[in-house]
Amino acid sequence: MAGRRPGCRAAAAASESEFAISRSTAPRSRSGQRGLSAARLAQSVYAEKKCVKCNDCEKVFSQSSSLTLHQRIHTGEKPCKCVERGKAFSQRSSLVQRQRIHTGEKLHECKECRKAFAQKAHLVRHLRVHTGEEPYECKVCRKAFSQFAYLAQPQRAHTGEKSYECIERGKAFSNRSSITQHQFTLARSLRNAMSVGRRLFSLHAYLTVHQQMPAGERPYECKECGKAFSQNSHLAQQQRIHTGEKP
């Protein structure tokens, strides 16, 4: 074996090169072709799924069912209706959450305090009370909040936006609490004005009766003691003294 001749080595090398060329040029097996066609089919299906696009806002979805749900935003279609109150929803998941309000079902429980919630989003918001997480930060003053709704108030203070307007006075406010306090002040002022108005009306009525009465005339006489009065209300008070009636 160690003494193989040069001619044998050349023949062996030639046969190996021919075998390598034949492997590279040989047709693929059916299983290989089947695997290649399956991969191409999967790629084409994936490409088709990615091409599902909304004609209204150009948003792209991977599934036609997702596009159908999305299009209800533009059409306003709400096929899922609550039997209890008749309120309609565009998605079944929203209807299920609504029904849990009526049934009182609360599947999402906090492991820290055992408080339960009907929606998972409410549980996530509640957990921030225990963790102290404040993911919503104001970019102007860097103040952070646990809820997005709390972030809107300081942002309006920075921008000067006043979205809450009083219909009575036309005065605008940046947050709901300020307009609530303003409306409470208006209501209290109105009650005070009405109270003053009632007193003024009573005095005006008394003055009118007094002016219509001739000077010194007292037509209302008590049958018990013979005392006379200029007004019927005064006579009624006198009669209660005799009868002992307490109004």
Residue ranges per structural domain of the chain: 216-247
Single pTM value for the model: 0.38
Residue whose C-alpha is closest to residue 71's, from 52, 54, 53:
54
Confidence of residue 130 (pLDDT cuts 50, 70, 90): very high
More confident residue, 76 or 9: 76
Give the least confident one: 122-131, 205-214, 218-227.
205-214
Q: Is the pLDDT of residue 43 over 50?
A: yes
So what's the pLDDT on residue 108?
87
Residues in the chain: 247
Which pair of tokens denotes residue 178? 């300020």
- DSSP 8-state secondary structure symbol assigned to residue 214: P
Q: Is the pLDDT of residue 48 over 80?
A: no
Give the least confident one: 25-29, 178-182, 234-238, 239-243.
25-29
Q: Residue range 38-43: average pLDDT?
A: 55
Does the CA dihedral 31-33-38-43 come out positive or negative?
A: positive
Residue whose C-alpha is closest to residue 100's, from 114, 75, 121, 79:
121
Q: Is the pLDDT of residue 19 over 60?
A: no
Whole-number Å distance between alpha carbons of 127 and 110: 7
Give the least confident one: 26-30, 107-111, 147-151.
26-30
Q: Is the pLDDT of residue 215 over 90?
A: no
Q: Residue range 134-151: average pLDDT?
A: 86
Residue whose C-alpha is closest to residue 94's, from 71, 77, 78:
78
- Contacts by 44-52, CB closer than 8 A, 24 or more apart: none
CA distances, 76 to each of 55, 68, 73, 81 (Å) = 15, 12, 5, 13
Give per-residue pLDDT as tens, 158-177. Answer: 887 787 788 777 888 877 77
CATH number belonging to domain 216-247: 3.30.160.60
So what's the pLDDT on residue 220?
78
So what's the pLDDT on residue 110?
93
| Torsion (CA) 207, 211, 214, 220 in degrees, nearest 10 | -30
So what's the pLDDT on residue 98?
80
So what's the pLDDT on residue 95?
82
**Whether the Cβ atoms of residue 78 and residue 72 lie closer than 8 Å to each other:** yes
